[in-house]
Amino acid sequence: DAEHNATINHGWVYVLSNEGSDAQKVAGSKWLAFLNELDSAKAIFDGGGVTGPLKAQEHLDYMIGQSPQYEIFVQENERAKTQVWGELGTERWEIMRKMAENIFKTGTGPEDAVDAAWAEMEALGA
């Protein structure tokens, strides 16, 4: 199910960032850092009361519009993008959103979705 896939996705990225090839370790570390940025951003949207990593499913739900607070999230996201993510914020957000849609809406496996997202991020010079 979606929650299981999200857990696998995070775990898979973590393993690659620690045990993969040199290139995979670099890409995995960058991706983990990006996931942490998303968690931090959502904590800001929630009023700053969240500490530590959020569940993958929770922030993916926000990204693909399944949360009842999604409209508020979108508005806050627009305002906070540049503050939280800097110049590449919008592009990174769109890549992550597309990855979430691939995993949860089309049934594409996490590995394929992350591979595609990594390629896009590398193209941005992430």
> What are the tens digits of pLDDT across the range 78-122?
554 444 444 445 566 566 666 655 554 554 455 565 566 666 666
The boundaries of the domain holding residue 85 are: 2-123
The answer to whether residues 90 and 57 touch, using CB atoms and an 8 Å cutoff, is no
* Distance, CA of 9 to chain centre: 10
Residue 126 has pLDDT above 50, yes or no: no
Kindly state the tokens that stand for 7: 């857990």
**pLDDT more than 90, % of the chain:** 0
Kindly state the tokens that stand for 9: 């996705």
The total number of structural domains in the chain stands at 1
pLDDT higher for 44 or 37? 37
Q: pLDDT tens digits, residue range 69-78? A: 445 545 555 5
Q: Say what the pTM is.
A: 0.30
